[in-house]
A = this chain, B = another copy of it.
Amino acid sequence: MTPAIRADRMTRQRRVVLDILAGSQDHLDAETIYALARARDAKISLATVYRALAWLKQRGLVQEQRLGEGHAHFETTPSEPHDHFTCIVCGRVIELEAAQVHELTHQLCTSQGLHVTGLQMLVQGVCGECREQGLGKR
């Protein structure tokens, strides 16, 4: 007995997806990851990218973000938790130091008997650069 639970494999495709995410500070969407992955492995399929992302996510290696759009973005799990500010003019995503906010929210939830497992803050607005260019005043 003890058939030994066979650990799932870190295959080439999965590694490519992880590498791409690890090597980018951006928050990539599946389509972009797919395009970058094809540059390294012309035969990889979009379905595999999605399956790899799900697998990596399940193992805690990457995180999925919903930045208010219709599709998801992904990033490698950060050591420091952070939140995201999305500029509604240029689309840039800026990371926010989140410890304080998360701490406060945790307290709030715990005091109501809620056990928090995940936390995501989504801020939209106009970034400094776009404000300077007056684009934010349209």
Contact = CB atoms under 8 A, between A and B. Distances in A.
Interface string A93-112: 01011001100110011001
Contacts of A122: 66, 118-122
Interface SS of chain A:
strand
A125 B128 CA distance: 34
Given A66-B66, A85-B109, A122-B120, A115 B97 contact: no
A103 to B, nearest CB: 10
Given A114-B128, A120-B121, A101 B94 contact: no
Nearest to A87: B114
B117 A108 contact: no
